[in-house]
Structure 1
Amino acid sequence: MTTYVKVCGLRHPHEAEVALEAGADAIGVVFSQKSPRRVTIDEARAVVAAVAGRIDTVVVTNDLDAAEAAQRARDIGADVLQLHGHYSAEDFARARAIMPRVWRATSLAEAENPTVGDYGDEALLLDAPRPGSGERWDLSELTSRSLAGHWLLAGGLNADNVADAIAEAHPWGVDVSSGVESAPGVKDLDKIRTFVAAARGARA
């Protein structure tokens, strides 16, 4: 089975177009005040519009109110809302009333035994203990947890290690951001192409 690939933290339409052409399944835009990848509403709308209807477009946040984030995702034409971190099951319910497709992002530090769908989420993203840090984490922690369903591996992935990570952790999908950058928040188009090729060619 081919691994689902999401390229996150995009800020410009041409980056989304390159990800699509490379064979990615999803792109993400980030609304988080402390992130070097944060976008304005107009920037996010332009990124989403560039690939709308041809690839999953995901709005990511860890500091907006859940309902506000869902309304923002809907307003810019995104397909999915990804809530990262502290959000409760009630927050997810409020978000889903506005945006039916909601993903949950967490880490093993926040959720010792995460399960896809626990919060009504369509998919679960497992990140490094410090999300967005680009740190590679110990995937052996996943071996005792029989994760099933649509879950994505994130944290420290790049073109050089993604195939091995897929073989070790057996995720449904992978998510990359800093691993395809030349500097924090600055995407490298060649790295996007190389990463997607490596992930799509990997075997779980």
Structure 2
Amino acid sequence: MYVKICGISDPSMARFAVDRGADAVGVVMSERSPRHAAPAVARSVVAAAHDAAASTDTVLVVREMPAAEAAATALRLGFDVLQLHGKYSAADFAAALEIIPRVWRATSLVTEPDVRAGDLGEELLLLDGAAAGSGETWDLSTIDRARIGDRWLLAGGLDPRTVGPAVDLARPWGVDVSSGVESSPGLKDRDLIARFLAAARPARD
């Protein structure tokens, strides 16, 4: 089970997450988010994650930034992946992919009920709740795995208590968490991160 811990804005927390087994860490650059990181902070998180394990995927998450600008920013700050969250078009993905080779797509079945992994050229699809970053649960029974495909991440309403049952029900390739491992909006909690990682990977995984 691939696990991404998102919304990290503290290098020491990035290092902790990777040391505990996170496959990816995400940094949000969106001024409307309580998890927004300035460029210097984002760069330091990337460096810490790569120092902890060179194989870690570092992911820049954006919502409003133009796709080409976001791709250039991701490259400049040392990210491995750009994640475009929300209303980005096929042209936006094409523009980003001309600049950075790895682009992920994050969306919701509420806004895009017929979404399929790879439709816009993305490497990976992330399915979130309607209110991204809110931690609100959503109806996982609406997921049609036969249509969506096999390589996608589940997000929205996950925490150490809910991730196990959600994985059993939705059977995603991986999971993504942000608010579910926070003690308050934007403040990550080491104990919650450790517990989430343990719960996301059952013994059979």
Please give the range of the TM-score, normalised by the shorter of the 2 chains.
over 0.9
For 1:38 and 1:129, locate their aligned partners in 2 and report how far apart those are by CA, in whole Å.
19
TM-score (structure 1 length as normaliser): 0.96
Q: How many residue pairs get matched?
A: 202
Match of 1:4 in 2: 2
Map 1:64-75; keep pairs closer than 5 Å.
Answer: 64-75=65-76
Unaligned 5+ runs, structure 2: none
CA contact (8 A) 1:166 1:203 kept: no
Q: Deviations over 1:146-197 (max 9, x none)?
A: 4323200000100001010000001001000000000000000111111011
Match of 2:18 in 1: 20
Work out the percentage of aligned pairs sharing the same amino acid. 55
For 2:56 and 2:202, locate their aligned partners in 1 and report how far apart those are by CA, in whole Å.
19
Residue 68 of structure 1, CA deviation: 0.5
For 2:185 and 2:132, locate their aligned partners in 1 and report how far apart those are by CA, in whole Å.
14
Map 1:102-181; keep pairs closer than 5 Å.
Answer: 102-143=103-144, 146-181=147-182
2:114 is paired with a residue whose SS is coil
- Alignment-mate amino acid for residue 78 of structure 2: G
Unaligned 5+ runs, structure 1: none
Residue 109 of structure 1, CA deviation: 1.3
CA contact (8 A) 1:83 1:102 kept: yes
Match of 1:76 in 2: 77
CA contact (8 A) 1:178 1:184 kept: yes
Q: Which has the higher contact order (CA 8 A, sep 6+)?
A: 1
Moved over 6 A (4+): none
Residue 114 of structure 1, CA deviation: 1.1
Q: Check 1:202–1:39 CA distance in 2 against 1; reply closer, same or farther (3 A cut).
A: farther
CA contact (8 A) 1:101 1:122 kept: yes
TM-score (structure 2 length as normaliser): 0.95
CA contact (8 A) 1:167 1:202 kept: no
Q: Check 1:139–1:202 CA distance in 2 against 1; reply closer, same or farther (3 A cut).
A: farther
Residue 73 of structure 1, CA deviation: 0.4
Q: Deviations over 1:21-75 (max 9, x none)?
A: 1111100000111100000000000000012223100000001000000001001
Match of 1:36 in 2: 34
- Alignment-mate amino acid for residue 56 of structure 2: I
